[in-house]
Amino acid sequence: MNVILRSDVKGLGKRGDVVSVSDGHARNFLLPRGLAIGASDGAVAQAAAMRKARDNKERASREAAQSVASRLGSATVSVTAKAGNEGRLFGSVTTTDLAKAIAAQTGIEVDKRDIEIDTPIRTVGRHSVSVRLFHDVTSTVSVDVAAG
């Protein structure tokens, strides 16, 4: 049975896709939950319009993320943290600290869940942090940690 997905279904497709599923899966799972509708001729045309709108929105989001990535790539963010005499921090610099510092110093709002720290930042000095802005657009931000 061919159905049009009304929302993203993991392992099956994205919103607006026309997919072929078994009759039982469509009747017992997708249709009752409102995740899909039957694929009639008019609905297929509507699905094409939904896919086109989704692609345009995704393209605009990717372009915006790339412009933000170019701005972030050239930025150096300064963070102050309490440190001992040898330059080791009491604790570490967290993604929340970095998100606040990026917003304050560059004006770019970044979600703390999109910041990826390979190894915990526990020393004073310069570190590199990766920021995921879109599912395939990332930027590397230079973080300068100072004792304070």
14 — phi, psi (to 5°)? Answer: -105, 170
Spell out the domains of the chain, with CATH numbers in brackets. Answer: 2-61 (3.40.5.10), 68-147 (3.10.430.100)
Contacts of 114 (CB under 8 A, 6+ apart): 131, 132, 133
Beta bridge partners, 142, equal 76, 128
Query: Are 60 and 39 contacting, i.e. CB atoms less than 8 angstroms apart?
Result: no
Contacts of 60 (CB under 8 A, 6+ apart): none
How many Å separate Cα 49 from the centre of its chain? 25
pLDDT at residue 135, as a whole number: 85
Interval 74-119: pLDDT, tens: 889 999 999 998 889 999 999 999 999 999 999 999 999 999 998 9
- For residue 33, name the pLDDT band (cuts at 50, 70, 90): very high
> How many beta carbons lie within 10 A of that of residue 131, not counting itself?
23
How many Å separate Cα 127 from the centre of its chain? 22
pLDDT at residue 123, as a whole number: 93
pTM of the predicted protein model: 0.67
